[in-house]
Amino acid sequence: MRVTGPHLLTPSGAATNARLSRLAWAVTAAGLALLAGAVVLILLRAARAPRPGDAAWYNDLIITASLAVAIIVGGFVAARLPRNPYGWLLLAFGIGNGGIQSFAVDYILVSHQIAPLPLTSWAFYFAAFGFSLWLAAIPLLFLLFPSGRLPSRRWRWLAAGVVLSFLTLAALMWLSPSAILVSVPSPFHHDNALGRWADNLTSTAVFFILLAILISAISVIVRAIRARGLERQQFKWLGLASVVMVLAFFFNTELVPLLPGVLDALLEAAAFAGVPLAVGIAVLRYRLWDIDIIIRKTVLYGVLSTLLAAVFYVLVVALQGVFGRVTGRDSPAAVILSTLAIAALFAPMRRAVQNVIDRRFYRRKVDAEKVLADFAATARDETDLDRLTAELVRVIQEAMQPEHVSVWLREPDDGRWAMDAAAGDETRAA
């Protein structure tokens, strides 16, 4: 199934699309700016010991950085298909978590650990709002894939319940004493009637959204099984992302303490990047949307960032163990050496990941480039025109795979055209 916009637009419709596209780019830029601000705040906290109950700074960095994938993919989809809600939902997911919530939480932590910052109390509300936004976007992302529409009218009740739950969380979560998003006590949490009402309503809303995530993820898998042909291949990738997302929600350190620190962070990062990456894979392999090159780069740097983060963590742990044995304490040299190693590994790992992606999703392109490179080498040395013509026909057939190839050569003396080699009428090379 290929989703495209309308072929014919009225002038007013085209103008509206143009305005929405510009809005999508503006929202994307704002989201990436917030995410970059969150990364800066995380790095500022790296020099300080974490508060009790806080994750290590590098765990937060891994999770936050992974959300850039959702913002970038969502921005491009919303700009290309501004009337399709799918891109806007991806933006809401990425900005709500990686932008608004991460920035607000780290703003609060920096204000308490390093130096007081203005308007810190407002950050508690924005942290709750960002959490509400990205959490509510998840089941809708599953339900609306791939066309941007619900599978049928029967799913309206679930979508309406998710929207109502989001409004409840956005309005009351910041007042709920049990909704602790940051280890710093909130000035808005009070044990009174309003706090108890907020607790009850937000707990119900969170439970409903988690249930909706489970139901919508199962619906993706069921629809993938029932789909046929191209649509089934598209659903296969999002079905895999659905499984990772469900595992991250129901088996992370907040709900079930099964995974230690960095492994939990990597699982969450894989889940948060999984849905947009699944969309990207569908585009790369099955041309769901016509933005192949854009998503190709997003997949490349998303995978590369995850690998580099894992290598960085392993190096830091290993070097800290070595320095700890030698000096008896942790040394900043471990972080410095690990950073230098990552800088040295970036280029070769990028090439390796690019080759894997190209061979997996652009196999025909890679083969065609190799064939053309071989022909260029042959053309430099070949002087026999008949052999060169035969080689040209072979290269075109192998690289482009047309049904028919004809090569026409012009006689140098009288200007007449003659067909030198023929194999059909689909593609002609002069």
Residue 6 maps to a domain: no
- Token pair in block for residue 217: 């993820």
Distances in Å between the alpha carbon of 57 and those of 40, 106, 120? 11, 10, 20
The answer on 408 and 319 residing in a single domain is: no
Same domain? 386 vs 335: no
Which residue carries 């895999």 as its tokens?
A: 240
- Do 319 and 424 lie in one domain? The reply is no
Q: Is residue 17 part of a domain?
A: yes
Q: Is residue 296, in this structure, part of any structural domain at all? A: no
Q: Which residues does residue 406 pair with via DSSP β-bridges, in sequence order?
A: 422, 428
Residue 132: CATH number of its domain: 1.20.1070
Q: How many CB atoms lie within 10 A of CB 261?
A: 13
Number of domains composing the chain: 3
406 φ, ψ (degrees, to nearest 5)? -130, 135
The C-alpha atoms of residue 237 and residue 125 are separated, in whole angstroms, by 35
* 405 within some domain: yes
Q: Are residues 64 and 174 in the same domain?
A: yes
Domain match, 421 and 339 both: no
Of 290, 321, 348, the residue that ends a domain is 290
**Of 266, 269, 264, which is closest to residue 251 (Cα–Cα)?**
264
State how far the Cα of 281 lies from the Cα of 286, in Å rounded to an integer. Answer: 8
**Domain end marker among 240, 260, 290:** 290
Residue 300 lies in a domain: no
Residues 211 and 324 reside in one and the same domain: no
Q: Are 372 and 417 members of one domain?
A: yes
In a shared domain, residues 273 and 405: no
pTM, rounded to two decimals: 0.62
Q: Cα separation of 311 and 352, whole Å?
A: 15
- 184 shares a domain with 317: no
pLDDT 10s per residue in the chain (430 long)? 343 444 445 666 677 888 888 999 999 999 999 999 999 988 888 777 766 666 777 788 888 888 888 898 888 888 888 888 878 888 999 999 889 999 999 999 888 888 888 888 899 999 999 999 999 998 998 888 777 778 888 889 999 999 999 999 999 998 888 888 888 888 888 888 888 898 899 999 999 999 998 898 788 777 777 777 666 667 766 766 666 766 666 655 444 454 556 677 777 777 777 777 777 566 555 555 444 555 566 567 667 777 777 787 788 778 777 777 777 666 677 777 877 887 888 888 888 887 776 666 555 555 555 666 666 766 666 666 667 777 777 766 665 566 667 777 666 655 444 444 444 444 444 3
Enclosing domain of residue 323: 311-360
Distance CA 63, CA 8 (A): 42
In a domain, 4, yes or no: no
Q: Verify that 139 and 236 share a domain, yes or no.
A: yes
Are both 44 and 123 inside the same structural domain? yes
Residue 137 shares a structural domain with residue 35 = yes
Residue 299 lies in a domain: no
Q: Which of 332, 360, 388 is the C-terminal boundary of a domain?
A: 360
Alpha-carbon gap, residue 66 to 264, rounded angstroms: 13
* Domain assignment present for 301: no
